[in-house]
Amino acid sequence: MGEVRPMPSFGDLFTDLRGDDRMMRVSYHPDRGAVVVSLWSGPVCRGSFRMPVDDVRKLTTLLTEIEASVAASSSVPASGGPAAGTAVAGEAVPPVPAVDQTGDISGTRHRAALPILPVPSVA
C-alpha cells in the first residue's frame, strides 16, 4: 500500500457499520496538496485514495446534499404520512440532488459472469 504515515493533525477516523475493526481514515496532507481516504481492517490498510484538494468542494457538496436529503426524508412520518417526496399543503418539497455522471459506465452491462472454478480438495 505504500508508506504508512502517522495520522496528521488534520483528519479523522470513521467506523464502518459492519464492525469487525473496519475503519475509514480521512487525512489532509498540505505538503502533497491531497486528502487521503484510506480503508483499514484493524491495523492493516486495505486501500487508499488520494484526492486533490481541488476536488474537496465537490465531495463536500455531495455529502451536504445527501445529509439534506436524509433530514428531509426523516421529517416525513413513517406510517400514515405522505410518501417520501410527496408535497404536503404548506410544505416545500426539498429539491432532488443533481447527479453528475463522472465517467462512462456503458461498457459494464456487457460483462460476462466469472466462471465458477472447482475448489481443490486437500487430503
Residue 82 is assigned to a structural domain of this protein? no
Work out the widest C-alpha separation in the chain, in whole angstroms.
72
Query: Going along 1-107, which residue ranges are E strands?
Result: 11-15, 22-29, 34-41, 44-52
| Containing structural domain, residue 41 | 9-74
Q: Beta-carbon neighbour count of residue 40 at 10 Å?
A: 18
Residue 46 is assigned to a structural domain of this protein? yes
Residue 26 is assigned to a structural domain of this protein? yes
- pLDDT number for residue 95: 65
Residue 93 is assigned to a structural domain of this protein? no
Q: Report the number of distinct structural domains present in the chain.
A: 1
Residue 16 is assigned to a structural domain of this protein? yes
Nearest CA-CA partner of 25 in 34, 37, 16: 37
The C-alpha cell at 20 is 469487525
Residue 22 is assigned to a structural domain of this protein? yes
User: pLDDT of the chain along its 123 residues, tens only?
Assistant: 555 556 666 888 999 998 888 999 999 999 889 999 999 999 899 999 999 999 999 999 999 999 999 888 877 555 555 554 555 555 666 666 666 656 555 555 555 556 666 666 665
pTM: 0.53
Residue 80 in 3-state DSSP? coil
Residue 64 in 3-state DSSP? helix
Distance CA 64, CA 58 (A): 10
Residue 83 is assigned to a structural domain of this protein? no
Tens of pLDDT, residue by residue over 11-39, are 889 999 988 889 999 999 998 899 999 99
Residue 38 is assigned to a structural domain of this protein? yes
